[in-house]
Amino acid sequence: MTPPTIATHRAPDADALCAAWLASRFLFAQQNAQVVFVARSWRPRITGQFSCVVDVGRAHDATQLLFDHKPPAPPDRNAECATTLVWKHLRERGEPISPLQVLVRGVHEGDRRPPLKPSLWLARSRKCGLHRLISRGRAEGRSDEQVLAVAFAWLDGYWFGGTE
Ligand SMILES: [Mn+2]
């Protein structure tokens, strides 16, 4: 059986990676989902091209597993982020992911444009947490796949390993 595919944008940020991780570990648990990177200009035209789309495509439709938060749907890009949209969908499905709320809130805050004065959680994450891992990976010229591997390892540790 072909594994599910999760599309997000190239040069992924914390929101793209966290939303893709939520989809991979909860929507498609134990299915070895593959993350595919597409241009930020990508738009969903063919239904079912990917199993799930996060933080790209400018469409939000949970019935098709399309989770973007940029206009036109919804009109305000800061009201939600891709991670909060996937998280809320998972909660509606009854997944026991409430302990991720602090992380989800921090990722949402970090995705805000323009940014506001960061919370302590976000400032710490940018200094030595998930946000730092991603920005350092990018600054060191790592590939999208390498940045994803590092971020997923951190998130797996955060959730499954009980570290952090
Ligand atoms: Mn985003």
Cα(154) to centroid(ligand 1), Å: 19
**pLDDT at residue 73, rounded to an integer:** 77
What DSSP letter does each residue of 89-122 carry, written as one string?
HHHHTT---GGGHHHHHHHHHHT-SS--SPPHHH
Cα(84) to centroid(ligand 1), Å: 10
Cα(111) to centroid(ligand 1), Å: 6
Distance of alpha carbon 140 from the chain centroid: 21
Cα(14) to centroid(ligand 1), Å: 8
pLDDT by residue for the chain (164 residues), tens only, comes to 799 999 999 999 999 999 999 999 999 999 999 999 999 999 998 878 999 999 999 999 999 999 999 999 788 999 999 999 999 999 999 999 999 999 999 999 999 999 999 999 999 999 999 999 999 999 999 999 999 999 999 999 999 985 44
Cα(69) to centroid(ligand 1), Å: 7
Cα(130) to centroid(ligand 1), Å: 15
Cα(102) to centroid(ligand 1), Å: 17
> What are the distances in angstroms from CA 87 to CA 133, 143, 153?
22, 26, 19
**Cα(86)–Cα(54) distance, integer angstroms:** 8
What's the whole-model pTM score?
0.96
**pLDDT at residue 162, rounded to an integer:** 56
**pLDDT at residue 41, rounded to an integer:** 96
**pLDDT at residue 17, rounded to an integer:** 98
Cα(81) to centroid(ligand 1), Å: 5
**pLDDT at residue 74, rounded to an integer:** 84
DSSP reduced 3-state for 13: coil
Element (H, E) at 37: strand 34-38
> What are the distances in angstroms from CA 88 to CA 31, 38, 81?
21, 24, 11
Cα(1) to centroid(ligand 1), Å: 31
Cα(17) to centroid(ligand 1), Å: 9
